[in-house]
Structure 1
Amino acid sequence: MHLHVDEEITFRRLEILLVFMETGNLARAAEKLEISAVSVHRALHALESGMRCALFRHEGRNLHPTEAAQALAEVARDVLRTMSKGIRATREIAGYSADRIRIGSLYSLTSRTVPRLIMGMKLRKPELHTELVLGSNAHLLQKLRDGALDAALMAIPEDAPDVESEPLFQDDIHFAAPVGSPYAAQKEIDLGACAGEPFVSLSEGFVTYSGFVDTFRIAGFTPKVVMKTDDIFSLMNLVSGGVGFTLLPGRVRGVMPHNVQLIPLQPRYLMRQTIALNFLRTRERDPNLLALLAVCRLAKAELS
């Protein structure tokens, strides 16, 4: 069944009709709507044109609603109320200004960055429920684009014009080795001299894996990777157990096993990650995201 409503009948004009019916006067309706009395009169006249019937009686400069206007106003009130509920429900499904916010994060940010931001959000919007999803950069970016996340704490994605990023801090990549290894006493690691060593790494899709690959490309050799894992804490445990060496961001220093140390790489191998709050540009006016952005900006100095 095809439903058709004349283009002269709009939500805004129905809203003007209701205000006019409540105030009973063009000037008072105009004042309440913050528009001119002429604009109110034109809107009411357009409704009459769209309805193909008279809605008002003219008595001098005054308009008096007919029974037809009363009937339309009753329907308009229901229509506007239903549409308002529909807009709110649609926004909540899309995560826009809902009573929850879904934040994605890299595993390595859960020890310091995530708690700091969540506590900041609780202070700013205590009624807001926060859900946390962990994953790789690639996994979080896909969930962001699918609408399954509202924001993601991760490295700034490359070639992503649909994503807005608020940088939080920069992090250098270090050489990770067990305490007491042949490299323990070195102030800087020449990665080119490690060609024969076993390495462990994260799986593809993690930003630390990308840094791992890029750094060894500069060193001029492909490392012998004996094992891969999908979370950074397991990776540190593999280093602790002597399975192999790896490259890790400095932000994990506070949660590493006691027998793992981070050693700076020589300057020519320096790789730096920029960690940011990322969200879709289409969501930049979402009140919940604006609150999270404010928390991030306040936390920048502490996180750096």
Structure 2
Amino acid sequence: PAGVEQAVIGDDLCDLLVPAGHPLAGRAAVRREELGGERWVSQPPGRVCHDWLVRTMRSAGFEPLIVHRAEENPTLTALVAAGLGIALIPRLGRGPLPQGVVAVGLDPMPRRRLYALWRTGTSRRPAVAETVRVLREQGRACLVAE
């Protein structure tokens, strides 16, 4: 947009979380089309991750069957651990996986590009420059490079 500068921080990948005993748990990657009969846990409608799940599965030709909803990713992960469904959660949106939950890749891997944004002409301000520098540094440490 006009009046805004930006820098790419990196790409946040999204994993499929399944219970350890799930038939997909031993796989390195799963194609979206294989997930049509699964039961899902997700954030409520209108939240970014819910909308991402719905768009991703619709692109594979089906509507996800969402059986449980929760606001926070740790709760969704606990629902997966309890065997109540599977979830699609971005890596930055979750901590270490608890025992009983396995992350499986999707093919193709969903990703979201993250940006730092600031008002045009403010990049010379020390606080803005340092914030962008730290965001880029942290992005290199924990995100996929563009």
- Check conservation: 2:74, 2:94, Cα contact below 8 A: no
Q: Secondary structure at the match of 1:213?
A: helix
After TM superposition, the structure 1 = structure 2 runs for residues 92-111 of structure 1, keeping only pairs within 5 Å, are none
Which amino acid in structure 1 is aligned with residue 24 of structure 2?
Y
After TM superposition, the structure 1 = structure 2 runs for residues 108-119 of structure 1, keeping only pairs within 5 Å, are none
Question: What is aligned with 2:83?
Answer: 242
Q: Secondary structure at the match of 2:138?
A: helix
Structure 2: distance between partners of 1:193 and 1:264: 13
After TM superposition, the structure 1 = structure 2 runs for residues 1-304 of structure 1, keeping only pairs within 5 Å, are 163-251=4-92, 254-267=95-108, 270-279=109-118, 281=119, 284-285=122-123, 286-304=125-143
The Cα RMSD (Å) is 2.5
Which amino acid in structure 2 is aligned with residue 169 of structure 1?
G
Could you list the runs of 5+ residues in structure 1 that have no partner in the other structure? 1-159
Which amino acid in structure 2 is aligned with residue 288 of structure 1?
A
Q: Secondary structure at the match of 2:29?
A: coil
Structure 2: distance between partners of 1:259 and 1:187: 17
Structure 1: distance between partners of 2:75 and 2:2: 33
Computing the radius of gyration over CA atoms, which structure comes out larger, 1 or 2?
1
Offset, 1:181: 0.9
Question: What is aligned with 1:55?
Answer: none
User: TM-score, normalising length from structure 2?
Assistant: 0.79
Structure 1 residues 298 and 183: CA distance shift in structure 2, 3 A: closer
Q: Deviations over 1:123-144 (max 9, x none)?
A: xxxxxxxxxxxxxxxxxxxxxx
Offset, 1:303: 2.6
Structure 2: distance between partners of 1:223 and 1:161: 37
Offset, 1:237: 1.3
Structure 1 residues 229 and 284: CA distance shift in structure 2, 3 A: farther
Q: Secondary structure at the match of 1:301?
A: helix
Q: Deviations over 1:33-62 (max 9, x none)?
A: xxxxxxxxxxxxxxxxxxxxxxxxxxxxxx
- Check conservation: 2:67, 2:85, Cα contact below 8 A: yes
Offset, 1:170: 0.9
User: TM-score, normalising length from structure 1?
Assistant: 0.41
Structure 1: distance between partners of 2:137 and 2:101: 32
Structure 1 residues 294 and 202: CA distance shift in structure 2, 3 A: same
Q: Deviations over 1:247-282 (max 9, x none)?
A: 122345652222111111123xx3211123334x26
Which structure's residues are more often helix, by fraction?
1
Could you list the runs of 5+ residues in structure 2 that have no partner in the other structure? none
Structure 1: distance between partners of 2:24 and 2:107: 13
With a CA cutoff of 8 Å and minimum separation of 6, indicate the structure with the bigger relative contact order.
2
Number of matched pairs: 142
Q: Secondary structure at the match of 2:55?
A: helix
- Check conservation: 2:39, 2:66, Cα contact below 8 A: yes
- Check conservation: 2:5, 2:120, Cα contact below 8 A: no
